[in-house]
Chains A and B, each alone.
Chain A
Amino acid sequence: MEHGSFTDETKSTFSVADEDHTLANTLRYTLNQDPRVTFCGYSIPHPSDNRVNIRVQTTGDPAREVLKDACQNLMVVCQHVRNTFDKAVLDVKLTNPVRDINIK
């Protein structure tokens, strides 16, 4: 859910339900690395309320689009992490396959 103004799209607070530091902190990190972002931060208004507020202020682009791009970037990063990890594990398994024999 977005809380912003109708006249100024560049500043918004996004209230995301069912999320916590896990997503909010990684998004804050990716957003802060985006040169279009002038300010970004998040807060959890109440610990027993399962939601985070993510504040995004930009230099001119709509905050919503910038946040979407951050998510997209984060996904690309995750995919890269996953591929690199799978490759590294496969390499190890190929070089010493003893472990597989032990299991099955």
Chain B
Amino acid sequence: MSGKDKNLHNMSESESEQEGVDKEGIEWIMNLPDVPMKLPPHVELQRTRVECKADAPIHTDTIQYSGAFASMGFDNSLRLDNFRNNFKIEVIDLKEDDIEFDMIGIDPALANAFRRILISEVPTMAIEKVLFANNTSIVQDEVLAHRLGLVPIRVDPRLFKYSDKDAPNENNTIVFRLHACCERGKPRLTVTSKALTWLPNGSEFPLVSDKSVSNSKPKTYTSFSCSQNTLSKEFSNNPIGPKDSDIILARLGPGQEIELEAHAVKGMGKTHAKWSPVATAWYRMLPEVVLMEEIEDELAEELEKKCPVNVFDIEDIAGKKRATVARPRDCTLCRECIRGDAWEKRVALRRVKDHFIFKIESTGALPPEVLFTEAVKILEDKCERLIAELS
């Protein structure tokens, strides 16, 4: 059902009810079947749609209080079975790193919680410590360390633990080595993330202070008890590395050299954005464009031209041109079509309050669909924790 049809339906409903009230008044109201009570159409419109007027949007809030419509006999409380029946997810587009899906029948409070968790609370691995053995490039140590931190690492963070206060070991640290040198007389060298090589056996830099035992294996900056290759099959089939191999880290002039070790640990986006698993995670409400009256001929052409993203089409019926809403989903709510005299009366711009077009762009550690399920799980864990605290 298109937005337009729905509107016509609403209007006819309101007319018939209006007539009814006029005819039999209170009698008629009392005789209405009380379950399920429906709200009058104009209130229902306020409840379910944001209306975008020329100066500002109105009815932007969601009405959450269970007794908000008690005087009208409408139960606004959350019924789980109701939610189950109405909730829908439609995947629009699924790519390696992006997903776009429609989440229908949910409150913004929840949609926003998922978005917030995706950005700041789903853990990933990122480079946190960089040990420089040599850096004669013009990029200062701290700047280079910061750049390295932002390189997305392709590894499932669920296989690792938070390091907290533990010594770096095979369960909480991933070590990369980078050694690049531009020889004298050669052209300048661009160091990319491809140069980061994974060391499954941990750090190779010996600890300086440790001179006591000479024969045994020298102590290093990490204490791995075994190679990370043996921890999970995934690692040996698909060695850990940066997600993209073409991220420029530094450029070296002749004679310059970088030698370093980078230690990646598990963390969350709220500590530092480098741990955020998403480039963006965002949603918008579904736009609904409704023509309040027939728009014909010159006006139709004017309307079609007004819209910068081509929401409207022109229909030719028996020599008459009529405007139709062809692609309401593309509407950016720029409000161009309701600018000018009387246009606000002809076109209604609305947003459906419980229909979210959700988009997740993963940085590459986990596929976007896994990220979303992880985010939902995190919200569940939060509830569980609170329940445990209250009991």
Contact = CB atoms under 8 A, between A and B. Distances in A.
Interface of A: 2, 14, 16, 19, 21-23, 25-30, 32-35, 37, 64, 67-68, 71-82, 84-89, 91-93, 99, 102-103
B132 interface: no
Contacts of A80: 83-84, 87
Given A32-B65, A34-B77, A92-B91, A102 B96 contact: yes
A28 B382 contact: no
Contacts of A76: 80
B83 to A, nearest CB: 6
Interface string B18-30: 0000000000000
Contact of B391 (A68, A89, A92, A103): A68
B279 interface: no
A2 to B, nearest CB: 8
B382 A22 contact: yes
5 nearest interchain CB pairs?
Answer: A33-B78, A29-B109, A71-B383, A32-B64, A88-B89
B87 A84 contact: yes
Interface of B: 64-67, 75-78, 80, 83-84, 87-91, 94-96, 99, 101, 103, 106-107, 109-110, 112-113, 116-117, 121, 369, 372-373, 376-377, 379-380, 382-384, 386-387, 389-391
A74 B378 CA distance: 12
A102 B112 CA distance: 32
Contact of B386 (A23, A84, A91): A23
A81 B86 CA distance: 11
B78 A22 contact: no
Contact of B379 (A22, A33, A64, A93): A22
Contact of A84 (B88, B387, B390): B88
A33 B383 contact: no
Given A33-B64, A35-B66, A25 B380 contact: no
A16 to B, nearest CB: 6
Nearest to A100: B96
Nearest to A18: B385
Contact of B113 (A26, A67, A91): A26
Contacts of B83: 77, 80
B384 A75 contact: yes
A82 B89 CA distance: 10
A77 B109 contact: no
Nearest to B109: A29
B373 A77 contact: no
A91 to B, nearest CB: 7
Given A22-B117, A78-B383, A30 B89 contact: no
A7 B70 CA distance: 30
Given A22-B117, A78-B380, A85-B373, A16 B87 contact: no
Contacts of B369: 85, 89
Given A32-B65, A74-B379, A88-B101, 14 more contacts: A22-B116, A23-B113, A25-B112, A26-B109, A32-B64, A33-B66, A37-B66, A67-B390, A75-B380, A77-B110, A81-B87, A81-B106, A85-B372, A87-B89
